[in-house]
Amino acid sequence: MEHNVKQTDMAQTSKIQWTDATWNIARGCTKVDEDCKYCYMYRESLGGTRYEPKEVTRTKTVFNMPLKLKEPSKIFTSSLTDFFHEDIDDYRNEAWDIIRKCPHHTFQILTKRPERVADSLPADWGEGWPNVWLGTSVGSPGGMVRIHHLLKLPAHIRFVSFEPLWAQVDMNIDIGDLCRLDWAIIGGESGNDNGQYKYRPCKIEWFESLIKDLTPTTRIFVKQLGTYLSKEMGLKDRHGGEIEEWPEHLRIREMPA
């Protein structure tokens, strides 16, 4: 999960290409592995004026915001934390209740803790709520175990964000299981040349390999090429997010059916 747009607790419009709005029931998170090394949430907290990134803190004024958003929207849920973080256990059911009351919205929940999801679902989840997409984030082969956890979960839509993609990921998954993956976001890492939050190399071949492995069963959304490829290719957008600058065969931005 890698985003180069500065987030607020609740943004009723979002520059993230695959969503309409963001909603945070908390701020702060703890890193799980190397995929989190240059986490954008930590980067955006620099200066200490907004929040302490290592502390998961419930939001106040925006907690109920989806109830006030009238226009049906795709809502990236908890972009500044992990919805299934253990520190949210005490009030996650309150968030589920808000989601339950908003069938006109689509809630896109992306987690690096899919192993905790099954025990954190509401009692009436069944085979999944139609207005909730469940996803996990994988940036390297070490994160593949998260996909296996995700595919075991009952969900209306399952998706994977291969972002920040900082190593080649081979989809060595049985085709029967792969058919359970509805959507994939692919993006290179964004970051700075200096300081604490940099970026790692990325290769066009890694995008091509994932697209080839996934397209028989899965909708693809290429979000950005990342800072490394942007510099290497001399792109105007420093994060490589301007689709018109890409090789034509990478210009794929599909959404789940």
* pLDDT score of 172: 85
* pLDDT score of 7: 44
Rounded mean pLDDT, 17-24: 95
| Residue 3 binned pLDDT confidence (cut-offs 50, 70, 90) | low
| Per-residue pLDDT tens over the stretch 213-229 | 999 899 999 999 999 99
Neighbours of 109 (CB within 10 A): 21
| Per-residue pLDDT tens over the stretch 29-82 | 999 999 999 998 888 776 655 678 899 999 999 999 999 999 999 999 999 999
Is a pLDDT exceeding 90 seen at residue 233?
yes
Proportion of the chain above pLDDT 70, given as a percent: 93
Give CA–CA dist 7/93, Å, rounded: 24
Only one residue has tokens 């957008």, namely 237
CATH architecture of 10-250: Alpha-Beta Barrel (3.20)
* pLDDT score of 175: 85
For residue 35, give the nearest of 136, 116, 149 by alpha carbon: 136
| Per-residue pLDDT tens over the stretch 109-148 | 999 999 999 999 999 999 999 999 999 999 999 999 999 9
* pLDDT score of 196: 87
| Residue 5 binned pLDDT confidence (cut-offs 50, 70, 90) | very low
Q: Look at strands 183-187 and 21-23 and give their pairing.
A: unpaired
How do the domains of the chain map onto residue ranges? 10-250
Residue 189 burial class via C-beta count within 10 angstroms: exposed 0-12, middle 13-18, buried 19 and up: buried
Token pair belonging to 72: 């049906």
Is a pLDDT exceeding 80 seen at residue 22?
yes
Give CA–CA dist 98/79, Å, rounded: 17
